[in-house]
Structure 1
Amino acid sequence: MGDQVPEEQIPDEVKYQKHTPVFSHSRVSPDSKRVAFLQVFPNRRFRDGWKKHANIPSYDRPPRDLARDMAMIRAALEGLIPTTNKAANIPRPPQTATELKDASSGWSATYRVFSIESSQPLLTTSIEINLSTLDVALCLRQGLCADDQEWSCSFPLSISPELDMFTVLHNLICVRNGKLFQQVISLDGPITHRWDTWSKVNSDATREHTAVRSDIYRYQFTWSPDGKYLLFHDLQMQPLSWVNNGTCAVVIGIANRRDCRKRVGLVNYFTSTSFSSGFQDCQFHPTETLLLFRDEAKTYLWRFLKDKDPMVLDLDGGPEGQAASLVDRVSFTACGEKLAVSRLRAELPDFVALSDFLSML
C-alpha cells in the first residue's frame, strides 16, 4: 500500500485539525518530492465511542428502543438477569438498524498532497468528499469489533504511486490539477458477491444493510508500481467462515482515455475454493506483470495478463536439516530477479531465482 510517512515529515496543518481522523493513510511519491495524506473523519457519535472505548454509537441520551425495553422487562418478570458486555468492559457495536445508521452517517474524507522540495511544505491538492452512509455501514458491519482495551476496524484506504488516485472503501477517486476529476462509484466487478454476502440487495438494485453480523471480513487494495493495476484481495476473515467461493484476488486495470479520464476494468481474477484467513504478502513485481501472494497453505505466482490461474510455487524444501520449513513470508527482491523466502525458526531468508519458476510456465 506504499510507505507510511514518518511523523517528522507530516505538515502541521495535517497534524493539528479540529477533529483528529480515526483512519488515515499516507504515501510518498517515487521521487520523494511529494507526500499525500488520506484521512477519514467519522461523525461525533462514532468518534466519541471510539476514543472513549464506549458503545458505538455514543449517545448523550440513548434513544428509546421499545424492543430492547420489552426484552428487559420480560427478563425481569422471569427472574433473569440480561447478560451484557459491560461487565467484561467490552463496549457494544451497533445492534439495531437505527444505531447502525447513527454510527455511519455524516462521514467525510480529505485528501491532501504537499510538495516537500523546500523546507516549508506547499499544499498542492486539497479534496474533501462525503462518504456514503451505506458504504460506511457495510464496513462497520463487516469488521467493527472491540476488546477490553480498544476498538478496532479495518477501513480500506490506498494511494496510487503517483498520488493521482486513491481509494476509500471500494471507491476509486482520480485527481487532476489538484482537484477531484473523476470518481468511480464502485469497483464491484466480480467482487460484487462480496458486498452481497454482507447486505440484502433489493429489487431496485439498492442495498439494504442491517446491523446483525456473525463474522468478520476484511479486504485491501494494493497498487502496482506503475499505477496501471490495482489488486483487490481478502485480507482476513475467520478461518471457519465460508464467504461464497472462498478467498478472492481481483486485478483491476486502470488506463488513460483520450479525454484524460480513467478507463477502469477487470483484468483477471482468482478464487480459492478453500477455507482461508485470506491472502497475504500480496506484491506486484517491480517491472513485470507478475503478482505474488500466499495463504496459509500455498504460495502463488500469477502472470495475470496471460494465465487464468496462478502457479503454485513449491517452496517447501527449506534449508537441509531444518526441522520445519514452513513459509512465514515471501517477497520479490528489489531487483525483481529473486524471491526472498522467510521461514519459521530460520534466522535468515532463502533467496530463490525467479527464473526457476518462470521456466515452468
Structure 2
Amino acid sequence: MEPKLRPCLCKISSTSRDGKVVGVLSIYPCLGFAHFWRTLDIATAYYQDAEKLSAGWIARYEVWSVDETTRIAGCDIPLSPTEILLLLRQSFRESSSKQPLPGGPAVNGPLPSVPGINGPPAERGAERCDQNLEISFPASIGHDCRTVCLLRTIYNIRPSSENDRILRSYVLPLQNLSFSGAKWTSQLSTFDPGELSYLPEVFRAAWRDWYTYSLSFSPDGRYLCFADYQKPCITQLAVFEVSYGARFEARLVHSTMVRHRPPRVSEMKFHPRLSLLAFLSENKVWIWDFLDGK
C-alpha cells in the first residue's frame, strides 16, 4: 500500500549544513497498528496484541532542493518486523501521567500528533502519546541529509547516476553494550501487566521498566551519539565513528554509564572540531571527551 494512504506515526526534517537541501523522514506503521491504537481499551488489551502488528512498517525518506523546491532523492525503506518488535517490547507503554503530551491528538487521523520536543528536529527521536499510551521512535538525520539513522540502523543514500540511488545500511551492534545489551536480544520478553497485579493500579504504569534511547550525528557526520534510558534510573552514552568508504559501517569508539537516577540525558551536542560531547542533565551541562573516555 502507498505509504501516504496510511496515517503517519511521526515526521522529522533537517536542513543540510550548506543550506541547499532539506531531508524529510516520515514513519508509516501498518494499518493494523493504526486501527489497534485508535480502538484500544487499555483496561482489557494485551501488549502481545500490538506485537502481532510489527510487519509492514515503512519509512519514507526524501531529499528536497531548497532553492528549486524539487525532490532530488527519495526512497521507501521497509522496516524489519524484528526491529519493530524490539521497539514495541522496549518502549510501548502506558502513560504514567495519563495526560497527553503537548500537541494533543490529531484531528485528521487515527494516530495522535507528535508532541513538541525542544531542540533541532534532526537531533531527536519522536514520541507518540495519547491519554493512555506512549511509544518512542528514535531517529536522526545527518549533516548532509544523505544519511539517516532509524532505530539502530544507519542508512546512506549514494547517487550512482542521474536517476538512480544506492541505499546502503549498517546495523549498530548495540547488543554488545555493557549495561543494556539484554534490551537488544530476542530474549527481551513482552511486558505483562499481570505481573504487577500486587500493586495498586495507579502505580502499575509508573513501575514498568521501559527502555528508550536517542540518536544524534556530529556536525560533519563522522560520529553518531547513542544515549539510552532504562527506567527508572540508568543512562548510558556511546559514540560510534561512521565510515562512508567502499564499506559503509560504524565502529564503537567509547561507551560509559553516566546516570544512576532521573532525569534522562537530553540535548546532545558534538563540538565542531574537538572530540567533545556536551549533554544536558539535571539542568546542568556535562562535557565528555569521548576519544579518551573521560
Query: Within 5 Å, which residues of 2 pair with 1:7-86?
Result: 17-50=4-37, 52=38, 54-55=39-40, 85=43
Identity fraction in percent: 25
The whole-number CA distance in structure 1 between the counterparts of 2:175 and 2:40 is 35
Matched, 1:139 2:87: yes
Q: In structure 1, what residue type is equivalent to 2:244?
A: N
How many Å separate the matches in 2 of 1:100 and 1:130? 18
1:191 is displaced (CA, Å) by 3.1
- Does 1:108 find its partner at 2:65? no
Q: What is residue 224 of structure 2 aligned with on the other side?
A: 230
Q: Displacement, 1:103? A: 2.4
Secondary structure of 2:88's aligned partner? helix
Whether the aligned pair in 1 keeps the contact of 2:36 and 2:50 (CA below 8 Å) is no
Given the alignment, which residue of 161, 185, 190 partners 1:210? 190
Aligned residues, how many? Answer: 241
Q: Partner residue of 2:112?
A: none
Q: Distance in 2 between matches of 1:308 and 1:45?
A: 45
Q: For the pair shown, which has the larger CA radius of gyration, 1 or 2?
A: 1
Counterpart CA distance in 2 for 1:170 and 1:179 is 22
Gaps of 5+ in 2: 101-129, 194-207
Q: 1:248 to 1:288 in 2, by over 3 A?
A: same
Q: CA deviation at 1:106?
A: 1.4
Match of 1:256 in 2: 244
Aligned partners of 1:127 and 1:180 also within 8 Å:
no
TM-score, normalised via structure 2 length: 0.72
**CA RMSD across the alignment:** 2.8
> Once superposed, which parts of structure 1, at least 4 consecutive aligned residues long, lie more than 6 Å away?
none
Q: 3-state DSSP class of the match of 2:243? A: strand
- Give distance in 2, aligned partners of 1:172 and 1:20: 24
Contact (CA 8 Å) 1:101, 1:133: kept in 2 or not?
Answer: no
Between the aligned partners of 2:181 and 2:158, the Cα distance in structure 1 is 29
Q: Distance in 2 between matches of 1:237 and 1:40?
A: 24
If the length of structure 1 is used for normalisation, what is the TM-score?
Answer: 0.60
Q: Does the 8 A contact of 2:222 with 2:243 survive in 1?
A: yes
How far residue 155 of structure 1 moved from its aligned partner, in angstroms, is: 0.4
1:162 counterpart residue number: 144
Corresponding residue of 2:73? 125
Aligned CA distance change for structure 1 residues 134 and 189 (closer, same or farther; 3 Å): closer
Give the strand-richer structure, 1 or 2: 2
Return the structure number with greater relative CO, CA threshold 8 A, min gap 6: 2
2:135 alignment partner, one of 143, 150, 153: 153
**Structure-1 separation of matches of 2:259 and 2:11:** 33
Q: What is the Cα deviation at residue 23 of structure 1?
A: 1.8
Contact 1:29 1:163 in 2 (8 A): yes
